[in-house]
Structure 1
Amino acid sequence: MYDFEGSVVASTGEAPVQLIWNEVSATNQRELALEIGRWHVRTRRVALRDGVHVIAIASRGPETLEQIGELLLDTSERLLGAVHGIQYGATQRDRRDNEQLIAALHDGILPAREHRFWSRLAQFRFPTYASVRAVELAPLDEPSASEAHIAQLVSRARSDDLPLLVMLRRVDMDAPATVAALVPASHASEQWLAAVSRQFLTGSSAPSPSLSAVPECVREAETALGIARQWAAAAEAPQDLGPVLIDRIDLSTWLLSHVDPRQLRERIDRTLAPLGSQQLRDTLTTYLAAGQNVAGTAEALFLHPNTVRYRIGRVEEAIGEPLASPFSLSNLILALYPEIIGRRAELGEGRTPGSLAP
């Protein structure tokens, strides 16, 4: 039996499986009867929920296929459909239980009832009384998350053998959907977060050993996702940023994430107004992202190092202070922080603060 890509799902005997598939893939016919060398072959396409499968039977004697070929194909098709139906039903039931459990934890539970929920989590292979992380994810390729994204994340978690609770979530009716997840706080989950951040903006709470604290963890994960959105908006390659873990962000990121966005925007505009030129701003951003390295800045911007020095001199003239001043430098870093993070990822200058290397 082949899947829709031609990989052998199951087989028995020594028939020429690759030659059979070559014949099957060359046509869209539901059934084939053909000869390959000394082998007599019959095939049938079977459409299931997860795609098309092909059942093939082969014999070196044509009379065997004439006598029982049709019966074997019919029986195999029925068995395949029955097994798939059972698996699909079990999967749907697990999904409903999964969503109900994470929704209940998001709504909040009393500390006195935690032991009941730990036993339910154990059914999904979560280690009992071990710390968990709340996670919020937003797809990079679409404005809103969908069931297809859920399936993608679940598939990745299964391949990594990672326990996972997951559901679609909207903060309000007009907001795009995100994916809410709960994972054990472990090295395996960190690897999973790093991997899925190639396709999703990813924010994670700090680890928590208390299930009654999950609503607070969700708020932390939302804050972390908001930080990821800000950094991604200023980055040419947001898939390189990695996940944002709220317990690992630096002080600057933490401070900026707890300020009113409108007031912060006004302060940033006021701080950067003296620069005037976008050229100076881009040069300064790259200079700071490159660790104030003139040669690295020049290479990134395809400029001569003297041109970089000249522009940095103009920046210092505009702000009225040298960049060696810790006060002027800290103000500029805070004002340009998301842009510096994005440029830092492009330059490959180490991992993003608060994230994991993908």
Structure 2
Amino acid sequence: MTSTLVEKGPHFLPGESESGLDSCSYRTNPSPGGAVTNRPVRPATQEARTVDLDPVVMEALRAALPEVAEKAVAAIVEEVPSYARAFSGSLGDTIRQAVQIALGGFLTLATRQDAGSPPPPAIDGAYQLGRGEARTGRSMEALLAAYRIGARVAWRDMSRSAVDAGSGAAELSRFAELVFAYIDELSAASVAGHSDELESSGRAHQRNLERLARALVTGAAPAAVALAAERAEWEPPSALTAVLLPESQVSHVLSVVDARTLHVTDDLAGVAEGTSVLLVPTTGSDTARQSLLRALRGTRAVVGPAKPWLDVGRSHQRALRARDLGLDGVVDADAHLAALLLDLDPLTRGELREQVLAPLASLRPSTRDKLAETLRSWVLNQGRREAVAEELFVHPQTVRYRVGQLREAYGDRLEDPKFVLEATLALA
């Protein structure tokens, strides 16, 4: 005796009848007129195909199901950081059960025990997961990534069990196609649920989140921001970090950071077209910041400092200034505080530079430039001649000669702490 699984081209339909003419659909919210509609997922018009699975193989797959589900969950938590928080709470057990139901639903279909029946709980569960993602304000990227990872891990372990139970290569290849087609079916159900939720209440929720994000960045009154957070049903973290990055990289980043991350979608002063602003929840600790910077690897993000959530506007302003430094890759504003301070008032700094270099104004340009370069290195290296020579790639005797010229021009001012501070700021 063998079990038979029916496939429809690249996809099989959990709710199809033996004739292959039925379609899988989901019951959606009432339309504005009150009628309940069905959302089709796949047309059931493709040619049927069968694959025979020995009952011994099926029994081996069912026995391995709990362990496979646990490994799939572990891989999802590791590779999709935005789900780590969800799996650690009370919701974790529910999600683990959903993974087992999804895998169990596939094996149930493989035995054709539900032929001609409505879609199994796995499909309904996937639909509800999609709706849940929409209710939290998240896009589908993280959930679809979880499906891909789960499919990879599940197939790796299920195929091993099938081979150990005696499954042949040809049968295993066909079975692989059906596993991934089933994951496609779950993904389609989640996308449908996500879309339906957005059409009903998700859009209003998203608008509230966007209003909250703008209020935070623009420095609205704390009372107004708190009210906006309440309307958006958003739980404030202890701190937020502003991140500037290209719009093309937003989807990826949202899939790897905290699900409460806010996305400013409106135009903001100082933010160039094609650049987005994210407000990422954090604890404010150095460990949390390093974790965020690692998550942003491979992007062109500019990361402001972590600030109390009501004060994230300061983080946004710091990120804007760090962007203007013109650095490449992930830019950590906290690592460039000196450069940001010196760049805070360029006009005043230019005037200070002219004042500091005034005693050299009468010299020839080439001589003036060499002495200005030596003065800069002298104050930054605290008068250590060998360090100055190494930095300027000249002989220590040349440094001695140039410092002698500087002493003629500046006199005792070279030893004055006030002048040394001014020269450091002007020439750094």
TM-score by length of 2: 0.45
Task: Determine which structure has the larger helix proportion and give its number.
Answer: 2
Given that residues 225 and 244 in structure 1 are in contact (C-alpha distance below 8 angstroms), is that contact kept between their aligned partners in structure 2?
no
1:150 aligns with 2:244: no
Query: In 1, distance between residues paired with 2:343 and 2:174?
Result: 76
Among candidates 261, 264, 267, match of residue 164 of structure 1 = 261
1:293 aligns with 2:293: no
Query: In 1, distance between residues paired with 2:303 and 2:356?
Result: 30
Among candidates 58, 61, 75, match of residue 168 of structure 2 = 61
- The structure that has the greater radius of gyration is 2
Query: In 1, distance between residues paired with 2:170 and 2:208?
Result: 51
Q: Deviations over 1:106-154 (max 9, x none)?
A: 345444445434546874x533xx4x356354xxxxxxx4223434543
| 1:181 alignment partner in structure 2 | 279
Q: CA deviation at 1:171?
A: 1.4
Mapping for residues 224-239 of structure 1, pairs under 5 Å: 224-225=318-319, 228=322, 232=325
Corresponding residue SS for 2:264: strand
Query: In 2, distance between residues paired with 1:270 and 1:301?
Result: 24
Given that residues 170 and 177 in structure 1 are in contact (C-alpha distance below 8 angstroms), is that contact kept between their aligned partners in structure 2?
no
Query: In 1, distance between residues paired with 2:407 and 2:424?
Result: 14
| 2:9 alignment partner in structure 1 | none
Given that residues 183 and 189 in structure 1 are in contact (C-alpha distance below 8 angstroms), is that contact kept between their aligned partners in structure 2?
no
1:126 aligns with 2:236: yes
Query: In 2, distance between residues paired with 1:126 and 1:78?
Result: 36
Query: In 2, distance between residues paired with 1:72 and 1:133?
Result: 41
| 1:306 alignment partner in structure 2 | 397
Flag structure 2 segments of 5+ consecutive residues without an equivalent: 1-63, 69-139
| 2:216 alignment partner in structure 1 | 105
Query: In 2, distance between residues paired with 1:300 and 1:192?
Result: 35
The verdict on how the C-alpha distance between 1:328 and 1:239 changes in structure 2, with shifts beyond 3 A counting, is farther
1:335 aligns with 2:420: no
Given that residues 302 and 333 in structure 2 are in contact (C-alpha distance below 8 angstroms), is that contact kept between their aligned partners in structure 1?
yes
The verdict on how the C-alpha distance between 1:268 and 1:152 changes in structure 2, with shifts beyond 3 A counting, is farther
Among candidates 239, 246, 271, match of residue 356 of structure 2 = 271
Corresponding residue SS for 2:414: coil
Mapping for residues 4-15 of structure 1, pairs under 5 Å: none
The verdict on how the C-alpha distance between 1:296 and 1:107 changes in structure 2, with shifts beyond 3 A counting, is same
Query: In 1, distance between residues paired with 2:303 and 2:173?
Result: 57
Flag structure 1 segments of 5+ consecutive residues without an equivalent: 1-10, 15-47, 138-144, 341-358
Q: CA deviation at 1:335?
A: 1.0
Corresponding residue SS for 1:135: strand
Query: In 1, distance between residues paired with 2:252 and 2:319?
Result: 19
Amino acid at match of 1:262: L
Given that residues 262 and 279 in structure 2 are in contact (C-alpha distance below 8 angstroms), is that contact kept between their aligned partners in structure 1?
yes
Corresponding residue SS for 2:269: coil
| 1:280 alignment partner in structure 2 | 371
Q: CA deviation at 1:312?
A: 3.5
Q: CA deviation at 1:201?
A: 4.0
Give the CA RMSD over aligned residues. 5.1
Q: CA deviation at 1:172?
A: 5.4
| 1:116 alignment partner in structure 2 | 227
Q: CA deviation at 1:330?
A: 1.9
TM-score by length of 1: 0.51
Amino acid at match of 2:185: R
Moved more, 310-319 or 113-122: 113-122
What is the percent sequence identity of the aligned residues? 22
The verdict on how the C-alpha distance between 1:226 and 1:292 changes in structure 2, with shifts beyond 3 A counting, is farther
